[in-house]
């Protein structure tokens, strides 16, 4: 992800208005979109594979209760795990792409939070990716030599 890459290559960026703007956009709008996608993915996966999990999960020999690991995941024997992994791969190859295609066509309302100064270290790709979120479409920018200059001159 572009934002993660920016923070890794310029860790001090988080302490600037750009970092604040990125964090605000992510937490305010993008995070809920990702959560909604993951929820839909989880529901789709369970509706597609849920019965398969239940039918292949290990059970307690005395009570018949389904067995879980320490993380709340079903436990499977070797044959059950093979069946599950095969079906999960089919899900990944066949159903998941159609979900992505559906989400690609959705329109999301993401409020931008724009800055006017950017460090020269930001690549054209990074700038274009953040345009409309952190960088306004038609705005003139003051280019700063280094992220450090943003910290001393323009920190939040």
At residue 155 the predicted structure's pLDDT band, cuts being 50, 70 and 90, is very low
How does the average pLDDT of the chain come out, rounded?
A: 85
More confident site: 131 or 37: 37
Distances (CA, A) of 125 to 12, 29, 58, 122: 20, 22, 49, 8
Residue 43: pLDDT over 80? yes
pLDDT at 156 over 50: no
* Residue 1 pLDDT > 70: no
Lowest mean pLDDT segment, chosen from 35-49, 54-68, 81-95, 127-141: 127-141
Assessment of whether the complete model's pTM goes beyond 0.75: no
Confidence of residue 89 (pLDDT cuts 50, 70, 90): very high
Taking the CB of residue 39, how many other CB atoms lie within 10 A of it?
A: 10
Summarize the confidence of residues 46-67 as an average pLDDT.
94
pLDDT given for residue 137 in this prediction: 80
d(CA 7, CA 122): 11
């Amino acid at each position: 992800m572009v934002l993660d890459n920016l923070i890794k290559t310029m860790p001090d960026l988080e302490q600037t208005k750009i970092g604040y703007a990125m964090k605000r956009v992510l937490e305010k709008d993008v995070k809920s979109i990702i959560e909604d996608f993951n929820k839909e993915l989880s529901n789709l996966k369970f509706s597609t594979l849920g019965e398969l999990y239940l039918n292949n999960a290990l059970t307690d020999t005395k009570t018949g209760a389904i067995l879980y690991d320490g993380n709340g995941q079903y436990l499977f024997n070797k044959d059950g795990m093979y069946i599950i992994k095969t079906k999960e791969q089919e899900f990944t190859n066949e159903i998941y792409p159609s979900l992505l295609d559906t989400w690609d066509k959705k329109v999301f309302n993401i409020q931008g939070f724009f800055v006017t100064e950017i460090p020269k270290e930001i690549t054209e790709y990074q700038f274009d990716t953040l345009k409309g979120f952190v960088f306004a479409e038609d705005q003139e920018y003051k280019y700063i030599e280094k992220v450090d200059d943003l910290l001393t001159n323009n920190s939040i």
